[in-house]
Amino acid sequence: MTTTPRPDAPALADLRTRFAAMWAALEPVGRDGRSGGYRRFAWTREDHDLREWFAAECRARGLDLTTDRMGNQWAWWGDPDAAPAGGNKRGGNERGGGKGIVTGSHLDSVPDGGAFDGPLGVVSALLAIDALRAKGFEPHRPIGIVNFVDEEGARFGVACAGSRVITGAMTADRARSLTDADGTSMAEALRAAGRNPDALGPDPETLRRIGTFVELHVEQGRALDLLDEETPVAVGSDIWPHGRWRVDLAGEANHAGTTRLADREDAMLGYAATVLAARSAAEARGCVATVGKVAVTPGGVNAIPSHVTGWLDARGADADAVRAAVQDVRAVAEQHGGVVTEESWTPTTAFDPGLVRRLATRLGGIPVLGTGAGHDAGILANAGVRSAMLFVRNPTGVSHSPQEWADPADCVAGVEALTSVLEDLAGGAR
């Protein structure tokens, strides 16, 4: 695992230029010309192009690229299966020994998402490796970069599908049978992308290589911006409990002009009541609830809806409050003959307290924040992987929108912070 500085390795002063160049390469992929937002969904052409981009960037750095059972991409600087330097040859699985320090994030997006959610963590990881090499750093532990597939769940409805499947948090059968809006199952999408859906499943071999995972991400709220400190980076302490529920309401299709109001069974009315109930339940219970996706059948302007399906997202610092809010919503939906089905639920995820402290101290006592956004780092933490996150300041707090933004100087500060963290974690002492 000896590494000498490469002649082409950039000095830190070049980081801003390098960052801008990598950003420019990603910018057109999956960008909607009208909204300016991104549509990068799992196992689509855009996703394929992003995976190829990632592979090429890793190849250019001489990293060893592997793909796990789910299709998540892992690139290694150093051999994650080798014994630790100076350790015994078969000691790779002893506590903390021989395991990698992994960073990275995801490249997919929500519909009309921003440029930073996901890609910032992947680009920063690649640049952090460049920066470490530029200073002649020789890691005592292998360093890995991951590109998690299908983090947003935009296409098949379950967030963090890539990390959920390899950790066993979601079964392969469930993942394969999820369908997108066109009725295409994940199994079919995988096959169309040239992958074998039968390969899906828990991947202990991949997980065993991860000693520590640190995901850098743009902050998705304004907590850091609202702090009166000149610090563009924070450490993530925990992820709020959160879940998704499907709400189905049935009615009867009929003519919008000739059917008397009294004769109608309009599924949209129950749906509307349910959406309003979600808002007031969230206000009453001190959490947040959103219905951001709806499908109407038959979907004609002049047809009374025979079926409406909506998707509810609810989160909060307190799991019981979120559960209670969803119960309130369920009660209203049921009054209108609706059915509420839980599609996913993730309890509070606390990142490793020792790691959180170590990162905050290493970076000069920077703030430590919880977040209402889910991340692959949370799925790994729940699977027992020592994990934490770094957040880069978001001056408007806007995310999952084309307006999502982070200042270039803050992005570079994020790369520098990640570089420092990797240097600390991979540098030898625990």
Could you tell me the smallest distance in angstroms from the CB atom of residue 217 to Zn ion? 6
Cβ 379 to Zn ion, closest distance in Å?
12
Please state whether 150 falls in left (phi above 0), alpha (psi between -120 and 50) or beta: left
Q: For 10-59, give the secondary structure using H, E and C.
A: CCHHHHHHHHHHHHHHHCCCCECCCCCCECCCCCCHHHHHHHHHHHHHHH
Neighbours of 283 (CB within 10 A): 12
Stretch touching Zn ion by CB under 5 A, among 110-118, 123-131, 179-187, 227-235: 110-118
Span interacting with Zn ion, options 75-83, 111-119, 153-161, 323-331, rule CB under 5 A? 111-119
Cβ-based neighbours of 303, under 8 Å, separated by 6 or more: 253, 254, 255, 256
Q: Which is nearer to Zn ion, 274 or 346 (CB)?
A: 346
Minimum CB–partner distance for residue 154 and Zn ion (Å): 11
Contact 251, 268 (CB under 8 A): yes
Neighbours of 214 (CB within 10 A): 27
State which residue, 213 or 271, has the beta carbon closest to Zn ion. Answer: 213
Q: Which of 177, 396 has the CB closer to Zn ion?
A: 396
d(Cα 20, Cα 274) in Å, to the nearest integer? Answer: 45
Number of residues in contact with Zn ion under rule CB under 5 A: 2
CB-neighbour burial class of residue 346 (10 A; exposed 0-12, middle 13-18, buried 19+): buried
| Cβ closest to Zn ion, residue 19 vs residue 148 | 148
Q: How far is the CB of 104 from Zn ion (least distance, A)?
A: 11
Compare residues 57 and 117 and give the one whose CB is closer to Zn ion. Answer: 117
- Closest contact distance (angstroms) between CB of 109 and Zn ion is 9
- Give me the least distance between CB of 111 and Zn ion, in Å please: 14
How far apart, in whole angstroms, are the C-alpha atoms of residue 129 and residue 136? 11
Phi, psi of 369 (to 5 degrees): -130, 145
Of 78 and 241, nearer to Zn ion (C-beta) is 241
User: How many CB atoms are closer than 10 A to CB 190?
Assistant: 22
Q: Closest approach of Cβ 371 to Zn ion, in Å? A: 11
Using rule CB under 5 A, residue 108 touches Zn ion? no
Comparison of 117 and 328: residue with beta carbon closer to Zn ion: 117
318 class by beta-carbon count within 10 Å (0-12 exposed, 13-18 middle, 19+ buried): middle
* Cα separation, 26 vs 88, whole angstroms: 42
Which residue lies nearer to Zn ion by CB, 46 or 117? 117
Binding mask 114-153 for Zn ion (x = CB under 5 A): ---xx-----------------------------------
Sign of torsion over alpha carbons 11, 17, 23, 26: negative
Distance in angstroms (rounded) separating the CA atoms of residues 143 and 139: 7
Decide: 215 and 389 in contact? Cβ < 8 Å. Answer: yes
> Shortest Cβ distance from residue 117 to Zn ion (Å)?
4
Rg (CA), the chain: 23
**Which residue, 121 or 139, is less far from Zn ion as judged by CB?**
121
Find the shortest distance in angstroms from Cβ 73 to Zn ion.
16
The site string for Zn ion over 263-282 (x = CB under 5 A, - otherwise) reads --------------------
Among the listed ranges 40-48, 112-120, 154-162, 253-261, the one in contact with Zn ion (CB under 5 A) is: 112-120
Stretch that binds Zn ion, among 73-81, 109-117, 141-149, 304-312 (CB under 5 A): 109-117
User: Between 77 and 351, whose beta carbon lies closer to Zn ion?
Assistant: 351
Query: Shortest gap between Cβ of 246 and Zn ion (angstroms)?
Result: 22
Q: Count Cβ atoms within 10 A of the Cβ of residue 229 and give its class: 0-12 exposed, 13-18 middle, 19 or more buried.
A: exposed
Question: To the nearest whole angstrom, how small is the minimum distance from the Cβ of residue 374 to Zn ion?
Answer: 8
Kindly indicate which of the ranges 84-92, 113-121, 285-293, 302-310 contains the residues binding Zn ion, using the contact rule CB under 5 A.
113-121
Which of 180, 376 has the CB closer to Zn ion?
376
C-alpha span between 353 and 344 (Å, rounded): 26
Give the containing element (helix H, strand E) for 272: helix 267-285
Contact residues: Zn ion, CB under 5 A: 117-118
